Structure 1
Amino acid sequence: MARFADPFTDFERAFGRLDRTWPTGMMPMDAYTQDDNFYLKFDLPGVDLDHIDISIEKNVLSVTVERPHENTEGVTWAMRERPTGRHTRQVRIGDMVDVSHVDAAYDDGVLTVVMPLSEETKPRRIDVNRKVLEASSA
């Protein structure tokens, strides 16, 4: 029986599990492909551009942000939900992207990371010949 490829399973296998070091919702992220690029978008409201660090090591992209602690001397909190301190989110990107050409932009609290798909992962057409192929003798 033929097994058909599930594109969602293939995507998950290629890019790995989207690892989190922040609790869910603190650094929400979208991940998708469009045309020949893989996109990651992170919601980082209130984070200063100078406090954002992006790095790639061993096919893992890390986004580290820091929200400085405010001077809260004399403050009695009724509620405090906005995270402060240093936080990192890691995404396993696999071998499907060209890590030498990664771009990032930050606008209105949204960090967008764009990574071109590697040539090996782009769809390509394979011509079919009418002639029977003979086994090569190696």
Structure 2
Amino acid sequence: MLRFDPFHDIDTVARQLLGEAAGTARAPRFMPMDLFKTGDHYVLNADLPGVDPGSVDVSVENGTLTLRAERSLPSAEGVQWIASERFAGRFMRQLTLGEGVEADKISATYQDGVLSIMIPVAAKATPRRIEISGMSAKKSIETSSSS
């Protein structure tokens, strides 16, 4: 039986535009992450389930934070895939850091498939109140009104 799939050509073009090599359905697409600020540091959490901790690499160079990881597949020899939806291969994500962080104090942990990176805010970038000197006491000005 021959089935007609009107979306086959669109799917093929979309896969090629998204960087997947023709003929492979296992190429990684992205590394989902959350980034937020709490107190005096930023926290970046990236989901990397099933990634070997030895393949995770975090580096900073010229104001760019780079995250790398790799997930391997079981040997394809003798394997008959029934469903294959999890991506394998190399993952990489880069973020540009602003001048307001202390790049030399960035730390990272990897636990339960989540890479957590702590990015401290530089002391010079934290807001502070500036006291104003030389201000005299408040003077009240009285006015009189003539009726």
The gaps in structure 2 that reach 5 residues or longer are: 1-18, 20-27, 137-147
Which one of the candidate residues 107, 116, 124 is aligned to 2:111?
Answer: 107
Q: Secondary structure at the match of 2:76?
A: coil
Which one of the candidate residues 44, 47, 50 is aligned to 1:40?
Answer: 44
AA aligned to 1:54 is V
CA RMSD in angstroms comes to 2.0
TM-score, with structure 1 as normaliser: 0.72
Q: How far, CA to CA, are the matches of 1:41 and 1:51 in structure 2? A: 17
**Which deviations, in whole Å up to 9, do the C-alpha atoms of 1:31-62 show, x marking residues without a partner?**
01111011101111111211100001111111
Indicate whether 1:61 and 2:65 are aligned. yes
| Structure showing greater relative contact order (alpha-carbon pairs closer than 8 Å, 6 or more residues apart) | 1
Identity %: 37
TM-score, with structure 2 as normaliser: 0.68
Indicate whether 1:87 and 2:68 are aligned. no
Q: How many residues align?
A: 110
- By how many angstroms is 1:97 displaced? 0.8
The gaps in structure 1 that reach 5 residues or longer are: 1-20, 133-138
- By how many angstroms is 1:84 displaced? 1.3
- By how many angstroms is 1:131 displaced? 4.5
Larger-gyration structure (1/2): 2
